[in-house]
Structure 1
Amino acid sequence: MPLEGIKNIILILSGKGGVGKSSVTLQLALALTLQGKSVGVLDIDLTGPSIPRLVGLEGAKITQSSNGWVPVPVHEAEAQTASGNDAAVALSDDGGDENKDVERAKPRGSLRCMSLGFLLRDRGDAVIWRGPKKTAMIRQFLTDVYWGDTDYLLVDTPPGTSDEHIALAEELLKLSTTSPSSTGVGALPRLTGAVLVTTPQAIATSDVRKEVNFCVKTNIPTLGVIENMSGYTCPCCGEVSNLFSSGGGEVMAREMGVRFLGKVPVDVQFGALVEGKSQEESDDEDEDRERNKVEEEKGQDFVDERPLVERYKECWSYGQFEGFAKTLIGEIEG
């Protein structure tokens, strides 16, 4: 059965390009895995796939199994180190700080990704397809990918309401249900709704209003609006500058009768994370080259081998998306 094992499907939509849909998709996926949920990310931006680059796996390739295409793993699930009862016993025995950490430990869900970027021979290859071929590719993504047991499938979409969106809506409404009562073994996946991403300025919010209308016409529920790039906090003095004004997404959500999930300022740490830079690196290549030379002479190796999800927890935007994840889980799972 297509989409077998998937419990909930969330679309990430925006009528405007360049508002950060892919970065919001990834951060929401990471935050959900840190709530113990197994997550899949399906990138259907066929002509401009960003997910392979963001997760640092541009060289990865899709493998084939008897059940279909196997998504690329970003990180595996990590079981809780001790149950609540075991942790409580440990605390009563020793009462140490180490055991308190065990008590607070949460299981981490897995994260897997599927994107056309993993199927290209070279990342610089252009995808020049007309509508029918795009539609066929999206149908194949929805029917021929084996996700296994997945709590949440996040679908990263291109901007606008183009062929990809129409094909996606048509297929999902056939392969899933919007009813919250669909549970149990063999039940259809639940199309829980769409998260809309905008930036504060009017030119973006006006296009996102059209996306709300698209959801209404296709009977896709709307989960909420995220106002991305809402201000920039200077890492030196802490002063907040509103690069694209502020509050436009909140006003739009209120006028359209849609839940406003919150604002996300520009996070320099997350930008450095997905660009593969350490926090000490700068955009000055000569300065970075000199620093690397000094580090090599000292025999130091600062390559961080931790999974992306563990490094993401150090980004201050994680707190924002942790809140979004908890809100959505509460809304969807009750």
Structure 2
Amino acid sequence: IRGFCHLYSGQEACAVGMRAAMRDVDNIISAYRVHGWTYLMGVSPLGVLAELTGRQSGCAKGKGGSMHMYCPNFYGGNGIVGAQVPLGAGVALACKYKGNGGMCLALYGDGAANQGQVFEAYNMAYLWKLPVIFVCENNNYGMGTSAERASSNTDYYTRGDALPGIWVDGMDVLAVRSATEFAIDYVNKNGPLVMETNTYRYSGHSMSDPGTSYRTREEIQEVRQKRDPITSFKEMCIEQGLITTDEVKAIDTKVRKEVDEATAQAKSDAELPLSGLWTDVYSQCLEPKIRNCVDYNLKHVQQSKGVNH
């Protein structure tokens, strides 16, 4: 995997909790940590892993890579910090315009929360009473800066000005689901809301970012031991008699086998040919003449309809 690769490990309760509360008419748009969301919204493990490795069997045919995966009702990731937030407001506007009862989750991190376009989206969404939940996934660190060093106000749920806000433990999947259910009902009746999920990421941003130059290994290990969302939920289910230890082991074995097989196939599948680079770039095959541009002989080809067209 070349370049940046933003993993979601440590933040699983956020995505799973929100997805569990979503209805068929609801939508989501996020930033760059979208691998888990892509799977939750219906793409197979192979579709995700093949996209990561730039293969034709990827959900975006290998052209999206780590940050740009899409499927129905999932408007993908975005490589520009905070740029997905106003787009999420736009998706919510479409829901209101169509009158389909849907809403949009617009996810962003604590680093993106300082972007001006986020506040512009808040303002417009409030004025138009759009059904959008602005979700700040506060994992406490930007790319290399702690939230305390970058933000004068780290209570991100209070930043909406006229928008109400709620705070939720982003390491508790049931708390996230409950908060999202409330938020969906609220925004459909009243307009936008800000929801902060306090969470933690284990990994850095790429091979060049081990994630330990701006925090200690001991800090990461402590969170893993005391607050890991998967371990906490698993232990709760076992304690409540909802599942046995043997059943957990069987699920783990099955999942690992499925992922290993998908990984092997993703590595061996064909890469995108050169001609595929100008295939399905536009929603319509338009070839307008552009002034002062040198003529080219690359004809745009449309093979499939966009998933959210």
* Shorter-chain TM-score range: 0.3 to 0.5
The normalised TM-score by structure 2 is: 0.33
The normalised TM-score by structure 1 is: 0.32
Higher relative contact order (CA 8 A, sep 6+): 1
More strand by share: 1
